[in-house]
């Protein structure tokens, strides 16, 4: 059977069966199509409890849905209207899991500009609260480990090892973490730019700044890429850092 | 010139007026149609009053005591105003007990009545025992000291407050278009009381706006939400149904933030009742020729006065909930102001 105003019906709510028997009556044919209702049938209130268990999630109760955060949010304003911190907080508080899941693909897009947190009239630490929500979603398996977290991890590893980051390594390392094939030279095991399975858009993204670099800076970068510089006396500081990170449980994650 | 004052109504505003007049040494007649002073909060056993979070006995008790003990105040219980002749300052009033008096001024403090929730049939009040009014919840607290579902006596897992029942509703006619003013704040307080005593009970407030105006914002909105975890959902409950399979109610509404319809299970639903002018208010308005709002029928102050206790009729002062929804402390303040205004009107000299 045809559906009129098809655009108004979410695809996941349409059930179509070749053969359909209800209460022993064969209703295949014209009646083989069912549109599930949009009605919210219950809340999952344990979701909020799990958010509140985390120190970052504590201020979620303070939100009164004014949307000052969303109005300030660059991701919402310039990228995707579905990224809406205010809305995520409402969904998390009532435990509307299917609605959260619908937005799982955009929810990790926070750029951590913290405008939301600085402006919130109720003192909600919005960026932290959203991280707490993401963590509960990850725990429940309704969101994948978000790509930006892979970058965070790589960034941290680099700083931990050398006391500083190296731009080229960070870029290619991130490309590799994204699952693209990176070709490395056999001696130093360093990535060779623009070889391998790097997609075109990423090449363009990298070429632009390289083209605009002055030659001295470009050589410096190439040198750094080959022989990773290290902060002076980093090993001593690294020991302190390790201790702090152990105390804070960073390695456990 | 008559030197006494008649106060009609023995609730918070009437008591406050009579107390002030009595303390000023002015002969005062206080008529109350019920057999007890104190008005709705005392007669109906409210539990906690907003905004001070005190009991009616703590707030109104001292007023009752002072009025009863003041020899200048003549309290007449079970008595109503029947008729009034003449103009200020020589009103000839006739009471329902047959007495006639000459008074120089009248204070009208005839109050309000609660909206009858049965008029909103779709909310199931009177059909489902677990749909109760916020007045009944107050009485549950004050008379029985515990929260339970009337259907089975058990503690509810979830409680829903349905805001604006009998308020801001053109469907009921022009009479109930106004805001009840107290409902949002009282629900915040009742929600807090529930969560304090029963932390495992989830409380939901279904609202269109949260009108905890002025200094009520923190104690009756922010604190319930932030400190006690009362949940606020925007959307007016349109229908309440009963599911015989699990014995729970369903509140039907649209969550306007998610923009999806919802029929969520609840164990106890509390209807937040609007305020209407009492029968006494409408009756006294006719007897004294007082101006009423053409829609709500509440009394309205004189058009040419900025004060809201000056009526359209010289020598008649209006105070408290007969003019529209009001909280207790403002009622008391208006009663005191009306009493003082009546005293100056009859030219009373206050002795040192």
Residue B230 covered by a domain: yes
Compare all CA atoms of chain A with the CA of B222 and give the residue at the minimum distance: A62
Residues with Cβ within 8 Å of residue B16, at least 6 apart in sequence: B63, B319, B331, B332, B333, B334, B335, B336, B339
- Hey, what are A154's tokens? 């790589």
At residue B113's C-alpha, the angle toward residues B307 and B166, to 5°, is 95
Distance from CA of B206 to the nearest CA of A (A): 13
DSSP letter assigned to residue B310:
B
CA proximity to B13, closest of B325, B279, B288, B294: B325
Distance from CA of A214 to the nearest CA of B (A): 52
Asked if A63 and A31 sit in the same domain, the reply is: no
Distance from CA of B238 to the nearest CA of A (A): 14
- pLDDT over 90 at B77, yes or no: yes
Compare all CA atoms of chain B with the CA of A93 and give the residue at the minimum distance: B231
| Chain A residues closer than 8 Å to B234 by CB | 65
Residue B103 covered by a domain: yes
Q: Which of B273, B300, B319 is the last residue of a domain?
A: B273
How far is the CA of B81 from the CAs of B103, B302, B308, B316, in angstroms?
13, 22, 23, 14
Asked if A100 and A171 sit in the same domain, the reply is: no
Asked if B141 and B86 sit in the same domain, the reply is: no
**CB–CB contact A40 B258 (8 Å):** yes
Asked if B69 and B205 sit in the same domain, the reply is: no
Residue A157 covered by a domain: no
| Chain B residues closer than 8 Å to A40 by CB | 255, 258, 260-264
Distance of CA B189 to the CA centre of its chain: 16
Distance CA A252, CA B17 (A): 70
- pLDDT over 60 at A192, yes or no: yes
The size of the A-B interface in CB pairs under 8 A is 48
How far is the CA of A61 from the CAs of A96, B55, B60, B62, in angstroms?
16, 29, 36, 39
- pLDDT over 70 at A253, yes or no: no
Residue A147 covered by a domain: no
A66 touches chain B (CB under 8 A): no
**CB–CB contact A40 B260 (8 Å):** yes
Decide: helix, strand or coil at residue A114. coil
Mean pLDDT computed over B203-211: 97
Asked if B146 and B246 sit in the same domain, the reply is: yes
Asked if B306 and B295 sit in the same domain, the reply is: yes
| Chain B residues closer than 8 Å to A87 by CB | 257-258
Which residue's entry shows tokens 């022989």? A227
Mean pLDDT computed over A190-214: 79
Distance CA B193, CA B198 (A): 8
Distance from CA of A101 to the nearest CA of B (A): 13
A43 touches chain B (CB under 8 A): yes
Distance CA B302, CA A49 (A): 55
Distance from CA of A114 to the nearest CA of B (A): 22
A91 touches chain B (CB under 8 A): yes
**CB–CB contact B258 A42 (8 Å):** no
Distance from CA of B132 to the nearest CA of A (A): 22
CA proximity to A171, closest of A220, A217, A222: A222
Residue A174 covered by a domain: yes
Asked if A51 and A11 sit in the same domain, the reply is: no
A138 touches chain B (CB under 8 A): no
Asked if A100 and A169 sit in the same domain, the reply is: no
- pLDDT over 60 at A13, yes or no: yes
Asked if A132 and A63 sit in the same domain, the reply is: yes
Asked if B136 and B258 sit in the same domain, the reply is: yes
- pLDDT over 70 at B2, yes or no: no
Element (H, E) at A34: strand A33-35
For chain A, the domain total comes to 3
Mutate which of B257, B259, B264, B265 to test chain A, going by most A C-beta atoms within 10 A?
B257
Here the CATH number for the domain that contains residue B47 is: 3.50.50.60
Strands B91-95 and B81-85: antiparallel
Which residue's entry shows tokens 């930006």? A148
CA proximity to B272, closest of B152, B162, B148: B162
Q: Which of B239, B273, B307 is the last residue of a domain?
A: B273
B261 touches chain A (CB under 8 A): yes
Q: Is A190 exposed, middle or buried (0-12, 13-18, 19+ CB in 10 A)?
A: middle
Asked if A172 and A209 sit in the same domain, the reply is: yes
Distance CA A113, CA A127 (A): 9
**CB–CB contact B258 A90 (8 Å):** yes
A103 touches chain B (CB under 8 A): no
Residue B211 covered by a domain: yes
Here the CATH number for the domain that contains residue A119 is: 1.10.1060.10
- pLDDT over 70 at A3, yes or no: yes
As a whole number, the mean pLDDT across chain B is: 96
Compare all CA atoms of chain B with the CA of A58 and give the residue at the minimum distance: B226
**CB–CB contact A39 B233 (8 Å):** no
Asked if B237 and B128 sit in the same domain, the reply is: yes
| A1 confidence band (pLDDT: 50, 70, 90) | low
Distance from CA of B229 to the nearest CA of A (A): 7
- Domain of residue B263 covers 117-273
Residue A148 covered by a domain: no
B231 touches chain A (CB under 8 A): yes
Mean pLDDT computed over B222-244: 97
Asked if B163 and B266 sit in the same domain, the reply is: yes
- pLDDT tens per residue across span B318-335: 999 999 999 999 999 999
- Hey, what are B337's tokens? 């102001």
Mean pLDDT computed over A72-95: 96
Asked if A59 and A30 sit in the same domain, the reply is: no
A45, A61, A91 member nearest B225 (Cβ): A61
Residue B142 covered by a domain: yes
**CB–CB contact B257 A99 (8 Å):** no
Q: How many CA atoms within 13 Å lie on the side-chain side of A116?
A: 28
Asked if A54 and A116 sit in the same domain, the reply is: yes
Torsion of CA A239, A244, A248, A252, to 10 degrees: 0
Asked if A86 and A107 sit in the same domain, the reply is: yes
Does residue A189 or residue B50 have the better pLDDT?
B50
A23 touches chain B (CB under 8 A): no
- pLDDT over 90 at B158, yes or no: yes
Asked if A135 and A168 sit in the same domain, the reply is: no
**CB–CB contact B258 A62 (8 Å):** no
| B307 confidence band (pLDDT: 50, 70, 90) | very high
Buried b (16+ CB within 10 A) or exposed e, B219-230: bbbbebbbebbb
Asked if B253 and B341 sit in the same domain, the reply is: no
Distance from CA of B167 to the nearest CA of A (A): 23
**CB–CB contact A41 B263 (8 Å):** yes
Dihedral sign, CA of B175, B176, B178, B182? positive
Residue B352 covered by a domain: no
Buried b (16+ CB within 10 A) or exposed e, B302-340: beeeeebbbbbbebbbbbbbbbbbbbbebbbbbbbbbbb
- Domain of residue A31 covers 6-35
Residue A127 covered by a domain: yes
B257 touches chain A (CB under 8 A): yes
B267 touches chain A (CB under 8 A): no
Asked if B243 and B134 sit in the same domain, the reply is: yes
Asked if B76 and B181 sit in the same domain, the reply is: no
Residue B40 covered by a domain: yes
| B167 confidence band (pLDDT: 50, 70, 90) | very high
Residue A221 covered by a domain: yes
| Chain B residues closer than 8 Å to A61 by CB | 225-226, 229
Give the pLDDT of residue B67: 98
Asked if A203 and A126 sit in the same domain, the reply is: no
- pLDDT tens per residue across span B114-135: 999 999 999 999 999 999 999 9
Distance CA A69, CA A83 (A): 11
Residue A154 covered by a domain: no
Residue A53 covered by a domain: yes
For chain B, the domain total comes to 2
Asked if A170 and A106 sit in the same domain, the reply is: no
B255 touches chain A (CB under 8 A): yes
Q: What would the DSSP string read from start to end of B3-29?
A: --EEEE--SHHHHHHHHHHHHTT--EE
- Hey, what are A52's tokens? 């509140």
Asked if B17 and B73 sit in the same domain, the reply is: yes
Residue B351 covered by a domain: no
Give the pLDDT of residue A252: 55
**CB–CB contact B261 A61 (8 Å):** no
Asked if B309 and B292 sit in the same domain, the reply is: yes
């Amino acid at each position: 059977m045809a559906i009129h105003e098809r655009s108004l019906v979410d695809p996941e709510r349409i059930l179509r069966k070749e053969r359909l028997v209800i209460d022993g009556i064969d209703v295949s044919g014209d009646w083989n199509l069912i549109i599930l209702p949009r009605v919210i049938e219950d809340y999952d209130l344990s979701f909020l409890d799990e958010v509140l268990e985390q120190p970052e999630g504590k201020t979620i109760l303070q939100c009164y849905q004014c949307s000052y955060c969303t109005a300030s949010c660059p991701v919402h304003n310039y990228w995707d209207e579905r990224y809406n911190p205010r809305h995520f907080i409402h969904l998390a508080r009532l435990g509307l899991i299917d609605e959260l899941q619908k937005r799982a693909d955009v929810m990790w897009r926070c750029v951590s500009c913290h405008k939301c947190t600085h402006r919130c009239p109720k003192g909600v630490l919005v960026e932290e609260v959203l991280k707490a929500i993401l963590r509960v979603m990850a725990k429940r398996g309704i969101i994948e480990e978000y790509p930006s977290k892979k970058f965070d991890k790589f960034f941290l590893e680099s700083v931990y090892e050398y006391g500083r980051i190296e731009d080229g390594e960070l870029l290619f390392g991130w490309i590799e973490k994204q699952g693209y094939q990176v070709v490395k030279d056999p001696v130093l095991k360093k990535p060779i730019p623009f070889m391998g399975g790097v997609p075109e858009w990423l090449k363009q993204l990298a070429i632009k700044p390289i083209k605009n670099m002055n030659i001295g800076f470009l050589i410096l970068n190439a040198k750094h890429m080959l022989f990773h510089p290290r902060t002076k006396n980093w090993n001593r500081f690294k020991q302190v850092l390790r201790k702090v990170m152990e105390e804070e449980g960073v390695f456990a994650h | 010139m008559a030197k006494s004052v008649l106060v009609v109504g023995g609730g918070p505003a009437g008591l406050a007026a009579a107390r002030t007049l009595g303390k000023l040494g002015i002969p005062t007649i206080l008529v109350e149609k019920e057999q007890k002073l104190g008005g709705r909060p005392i007669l109906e056993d409210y539990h906690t009053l907003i905004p001070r979070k005190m009991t009616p006995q703590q707030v109104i008790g001292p007023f009752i005591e002072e009025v009863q003990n003041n020899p200048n105040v003549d309290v007449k219980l079970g008595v109503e105003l029947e008729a009034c002749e003449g103009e200020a300052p020589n009103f000839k009033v006739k009471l329902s007990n047959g007495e006639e008096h000459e008074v120089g001024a009248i204070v009208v403090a005839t109050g309000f009545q609660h909206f009858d929730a049965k008029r909103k049939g779709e909310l199931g009040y009177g059909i489902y025992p677990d749909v109760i009014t916020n007045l009944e919840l107050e009485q549950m607290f004050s008379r029985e000291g515990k929260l339970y579902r009337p259907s089975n006596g058990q503690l509810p897992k979830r409680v829903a407050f349905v805001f604006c029942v009998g308020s801001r509703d053109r469907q009921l006619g022009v009479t109930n278009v106004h805001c009840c003013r107290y409902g949002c704040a009282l629900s915040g307080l009742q929600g807090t009381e529930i969560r304090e005593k029963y932390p495992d009970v989830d409380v939901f407030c279904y609202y269109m706006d949260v009108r905890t105006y002025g200094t009520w914002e923190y104690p009756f909105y922010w604190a319930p939400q932030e400190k006690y975890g009362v949940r606020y959902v925007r959307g007016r409950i349109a229908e309440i149904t009963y599911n015989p399979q699990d014995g729970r109610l369903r509140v039907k509404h649209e969550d306007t933030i998610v923009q999806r319809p919802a029929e969520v299970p609840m164990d106890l639903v509390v209807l937040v009742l609007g305020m209407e002018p009492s029968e006494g208010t409408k009756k006294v308005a006719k007897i004294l020729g007082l101006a009423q709002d053409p829609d709500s029928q509440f009394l309205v102050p004189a058009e040419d006065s900025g004060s809201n206790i000056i009526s359209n009729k010289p020598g008649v002062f209006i105070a408290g909930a007969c003019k529209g929804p009001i909280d207790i402390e403002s009622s008391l303040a208006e009663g005191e102001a009306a009493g003082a205004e009546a005293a100056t009107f009859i030219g009373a000299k206050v002795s040192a």
